[in-house]
Structure 1
Amino acid sequence: MQYSLAPVSFTNEKGCTVDTSLWLDPYTGNFYILASDLDVEYIAHFPGRTSTVVPTGL
């Protein structure tokens, strides 16, 4: 949720599963709205840089 470019909506009131928001893939420049279109393996922290979300299966 920290890396979304728009407010996040959830699949239910408990807020356990993200449904939609807006994310930018920094490698391709593609935008994604559905969380189900993404498969995030991990978030990498590189010294001197901001955190990077490392997508898989795109």
Structure 2
Amino acid sequence: MLDAKHLALIILALFSGSMLVYEWLSLYNRLDYSVVFYAALLIFSFSLMLLKK
């Protein structure tokens, strides 16, 4: 189903997206970890959706 290359790309997308949201929210000292979690979940689901096609 998922080989190591695809899994690494999903992990990279998840990490980069969640860190981007973290940086955006921490600029204004309004960090909310639930927003970071939901952004990471959204990126993960998009990654899986694109890989399944």
Q: Give TM-score scaled by structure 2 length.
A: 0.25
Q: Give TM-score scaled by structure 1 length.
A: 0.24
By percentage of residues, which structure has more strand?
Answer: 1
Q: Identify which of structures 1 and 2 has the higher relative contact order when contacts are C-alpha pairs closer than 8 Å and 6+ apart.
A: 2
By percentage of residues, which structure has more helix?
Answer: 2
